[in-house]
Structure 1
Amino acid sequence: MGWSEAELSLTLISDRPMARLNRQTFQRRGPTNVIAFPFHPTPTPEGPPPLLGEVVISLETCARQAQETGWPVEELFDFFLIHGILHLLDYDHDTPEHEARMDEKTLELLRLLHPGIKDI
């Protein structure tokens, strides 16, 4: 990406504001687990670390999906955070090939945080 350090904004919200954000951003009804807003910064050699963008996670959806899937909530939260960060780094799941690439990278990074984790 052109830099060795970067920053991001992380916002944790409940389902109601997430549903509103999901509707405003994607015209979809209801809450979702994570939404990422990439800023696409230009690297500057002498400037501060660039702000990659914002990751927004619904803690209510995370807790509900953890209960539904049987995953520990901490691991699922980390999964959503990694997923959002990858969106900031231009990963996407708009095609089957892109989705496979993103899923592979998400699980690779998740296993660094949680060795022995089962696949989602």
Structure 2
Amino acid sequence: MDCPDGELSLLIIDNLQITELNQKYLNREGPANVIAFPMRGGDYPEIAPQLLGDVVISAEKAADEGSLFNISMEERFMQLMVHGILHLFGYDHEKSDKEALIMEQKSEELLKILRELS
């Protein structure tokens, strides 16, 4: 991602906690699997340009979706983490089908790298 000094926080919580964040900040009902809070696009990105933002993942949702998709919880967690990090860099699958495809391709590229490292 060409951001060697970038910093982010990763918060792992349960469905109840992510439901509260989803409602409060995105005005959406129910538990999300991952929520990203980018810092670079705010009003004052120059204050700490190395801060990318926060990625919040529901461990419960990752486990449930792992079972649903017939993959390990760890694999699903890694997918959600990459997804959240891509949002911190401005990728947005909700803008258009084209943007969704671009985000999916970048996600697969990064997941391949991570799998090779493990």
Q: TM-score interval w.r.t. the shorter chain?
A: 0.7 to 0.9
Q: Deviations over 1:61-81 (max 9, x none)?
A: 000000111011111111100
Corresponding residue of 1:111: 112
List aligned pairs for 1:89-100, cutoff 5 A. 89-93=89-93, 94-100=95-101
- SS at structure 2 position matched to 1:114: helix
What TM-score do you get using the length of structure 2 for normalisation?
Answer: 0.86
For residues 33 and 71 of structure 1, the distance between their equivalents in structure 2, rounded to whole angstroms, comes to: 15
Deviation, structure 1 residue 106:
0.4
User: Which ranges of 4 or more aligned residues in structure 1 deviate by more than 6 Å?
Assistant: none
Corresponding residue of 1:68: 68
For residues 20 and 71 of structure 1, the distance between their equivalents in structure 2, rounded to whole angstroms, comes to: 27
What TM-score do you get using the length of structure 1 for normalisation?
Answer: 0.85
Q: Is the 8 A contact 1:36 1:56 kept in 2?
A: yes
Q: Deviations over 1:18-48 (max 9, x none)?
A: 011111122111101100000013387xxxx
Matched letter for residue 101 of structure 1: I
For residues 43 and 110 of structure 1, the distance between their equivalents in structure 2, rounded to whole angstroms, comes to: 31
RMSD: 2.0
Between Structure 1 and Structure 2, whose CA radius of gyration is higher? 1
Mark the runs of 5 or more structure 2 residues left unpaired by the alignment. Answer: none
Q: Is the 8 A contact 1:43 1:50 kept in 2?
A: no
Deviation, structure 1 residue 2:
8.3
CA shift in 2, pair 1:20/1:113, >3 Å: same
CA shift in 2, pair 1:3/1:77, >3 Å: closer
Corresponding residue of 2:77: 77
List aligned pairs for 1:54-65, cutoff 5 A. 54-65=54-65
Deviation, structure 1 residue 6:
0.8
Mark the runs of 5 or more structure 1 residues left unpaired by the alignment. Answer: 116-120
